[in-house]
């Protein structure tokens, strides 16, 4: 596979991005030509490949009776995040921070591919779309890759965020709005004003749009279409759909216009969440769909839910980039952060630091807990420990930590409501100092670099079995 580089032709939509990925790394896209069932089988294939250590983009050409092909697992590999940003994987977080700070006012246009096909009135039927059931415990078919865009009822600032959406009828979706986050706040304000909340749902976008809108987390006063423009390095082109309420990026594959009915509660769930459990926690909002828009030869994009590589990586990478920037503001000797999959890429964080000053480890742990309410375990290690390796971190805990002096517990703090062990939304939080305390500290055993290089070349000749 070649090194990460920017595509020769700038990609502004999902299909161009996939073409660029296929040229850069042909083996990273698996096109499944034979028919596959709408329910369960696509998820089963993604999870089986993951079990084997593989994470290709999955392109299903014929899904059930749908005329739309389905693409999944686009976000299942870190290298593809870096490729989308045009950088090497080691530069991912620095690049994310740079582009996330740039804002471009979007450009409103009258034409664009998303307006190729527009369905309204009696033609609105969500069953036209290949919305699958993913796991046996799910309450029904789910849109997992829906970026919900809404405007602040007071200021008009646009917020964009991913939300699970259960198919409940031809024009009805049940959804959960992530309690106390931005869209939930918009819905609450709209209800106080006696209004419903117009939204657009985006399905199938270039990853940079997902990074800048659906995944970027910043102040509620920041327009996330402007942030998406920063990720692209130019204004995002948007157009009005037939409902004329919330603008839609013209390069999306599929879009839905609708309204969140804020005064009603609509049963939704259970749903296979990132925790590895079928979650019944929901804000139980109803979303009425008024129009379906899609470009010619549209691709339906799915995110593999549950504790999959794709779902958890979507949670981890934006958080890692943000947390690293936050910690380095006052702790420039922080070298790396990682949200491990063993901690669902949400509840546990590992942080490495170079030569910490007395008391600094506790400060770093406290800032980490304050930056992300979902985190309930922070392990801080020295910079010789690989925070992307559970083994390395556990080894540091085994050899550099004492339970009576190196652990601090914060009780009854706000935590992730989807954590099945929480107590009505509250949780205990733990900071573990797994850094070297005494000097001199025993040295790690190592091998000379030239010896390692020689045996690597030798092993390559023999190609031993795993």
Same domain, 195 and 343: no
At 179 the pLDDT is 57
Check pLDDT > 90 for residue 382. Answer: yes
Residue 365 lies in a domain: yes
pLDDT digits 0-9 by tens, 82-109? 999 999 998 998 888 888 778 999 999 9
Same domain, 138 and 240: yes
Which domain covers residue 376, as residue numbers?
A: 331-434
Q: Compute the distance between CA of residue 435 and CA of residue 19 in angstroms, rounded to an integer.
A: 45
Residue 106 lies in a domain: yes
Same domain, 225 and 299: yes
Residue 420 lies in a domain: yes
Q: Which of 309, 344, 367 is at the close of a domain?
A: 309
Same domain, 288 and 140: yes
At 2 the pLDDT is 46
Same domain, 215 and 364: no
Could you please report the per-residue DSSP string of 330-384?
A: H-TTEEEEE--GGGTTTTEEEEEESSPPTTHHHHHHHHHHHH-TT--EEEEEETT
Question: Domain tally for the chain?
Answer: 2
Residue 447 lies in a domain: no
Q: Lowest mean pLDDT of 141-145, 216-220, 291-295, 364-368, name the range.
A: 216-220
Beta strands 237-239; 197-203: pairing state? unpaired
Closest CA to 347 of 393, 379, 325, 391: 379
If pLDDT is split at 50, 70 and 90, which confidence band does 1 have? very low
Same domain, 377 and 298: no
Residue 54 lies in a domain: yes
Q: Compute the distance between CA of residue 173 and CA of residue 165 in angstroms, rounded to an integer.
A: 6
Q: Compute the distance between CA of residue 170 and CA of residue 429 in angstroms, rounded to an integer.
A: 43
**Residue 30: strand, helix, or coil:** strand
Q: Which of 252, 274, 309 is at the close of a domain?
A: 309
Beta strands 237-239; 248-249: pairing state? antiparallel
Residue 314 lies in a domain: no
Residue 57 lies in a domain: yes
Same domain, 279 and 356: no
Q: Quote the DSSP letter at residue 393.
A: H
Residue 319 lies in a domain: no
Same domain, 95 and 211: yes
At 7 the pLDDT is 47
Same domain, 185 and 290: yes
Same domain, 112 and 192: yes
**Residue 462: strand, helix, or coil:** helix
pLDDT digits 0-9 by tens, 262-303? 888 888 989 999 988 888 888 888 999 999 999 999 999 999
For position 336, which CATH number holds? 3.40.1670.10
Same domain, 380 and 346: yes
Check pLDDT > 70 for residue 5. Answer: no
Same domain, 259 and 375: no
Q: Compute the distance between CA of residue 441 and CA of residue 357 in angstroms, rounded to an integer.
A: 16
Q: Which of 279, 309, 339 is at the close of a domain?
A: 309
At 262 the pLDDT is 86
């Amino acid at each position: 596979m070649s090194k990460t580089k920017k595509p020769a032709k700038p990609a502004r939509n999902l299909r161009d991005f996939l073409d660029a990925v296929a040229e850069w790394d042909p083996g990273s896209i698996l096109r499944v030509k034979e028919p596959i069932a709408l329910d369960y089988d696509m998820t089963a294939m993604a999870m089986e490949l993951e079990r084997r250590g593989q994470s290709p983009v999955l392109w299903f050409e014929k899904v059930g009776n749908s005329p739309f092909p389905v693409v999944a697992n686009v976000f299942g590999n870190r290298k593809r995040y870096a490729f989308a940003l045009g950088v090497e994987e080691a530069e991912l977080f620095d690049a994310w921070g740079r582009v996330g700070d740039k804002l471009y006012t979007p450009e409103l246009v009258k034409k664009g591919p998303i307006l190729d096909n527009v369905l309204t009135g009696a033609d609105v039927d969500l069953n036209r779309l290949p919305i699958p059931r993913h796991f046996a415990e799910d309450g029904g078919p789910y849109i997992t890759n829906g970026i919900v865009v809404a405007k602040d009822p007071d200021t008009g600032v646009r917020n964009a965020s991913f939300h699970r959406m259960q198919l409940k009828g031809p024009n009805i979706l049940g959804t959960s709005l992530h309690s106390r986050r931005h869209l939930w706040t918009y819905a609450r304000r709209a209800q106080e004003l006696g209004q419903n909340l117009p939204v657009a749902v985006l399905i199938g976008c270039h990853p940079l749009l997902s990074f800048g809108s659906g995944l970027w987390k910043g102040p509620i006063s920041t327009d996330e279409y402007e942030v998406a423009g920063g990720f692209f390095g130019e204004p995002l082109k948007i157009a009005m759909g037939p409902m004329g309420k919330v603008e839609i990026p013209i390069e999306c594959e599929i879009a839905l216009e609708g309204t969140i009915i804020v005064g009603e509660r609509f049963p939704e769930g259970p749903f296979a969440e990132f925790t590895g459990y079928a979650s019944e926690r929901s804000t139980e909002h109803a979303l009425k769909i008024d129009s379906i828009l899609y470009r010619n030869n549209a691709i339906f994009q799915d995110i593999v839910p549950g504790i999959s590589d794709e779902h958890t990586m979507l949670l981890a990478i934006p958080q890692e980039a943000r947390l690293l920037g936050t910690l380095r503001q006052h702790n420039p000797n922080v070298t790396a952060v990682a949200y491990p999959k063993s901690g669902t890429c949400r509840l546990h964080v590992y942080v490495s630091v170079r030569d910490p000053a007395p008391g600094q480890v506790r400060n770093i742990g406290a800032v980490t807990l304050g930056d992300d309410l979902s985190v309930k375990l922070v392990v801080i290690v020295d910079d010789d420990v690989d925070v992307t390796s559970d083994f390395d971190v556990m080894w540091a805990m085994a050899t550099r930590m004492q339970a009576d002096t190196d652990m601090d517990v914060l009780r009854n703090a706000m935590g992730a409501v989807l954590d099945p062990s929480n107590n009505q939304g509250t949780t205990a939080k733990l900071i573990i100092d797994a850094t070297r305390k005494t000097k001199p500290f025993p040295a790690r055993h190592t091998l000379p670099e030239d010896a390692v290089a020689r045996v690597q070349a030798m092993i390559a000749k023999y190609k031993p079995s795993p």
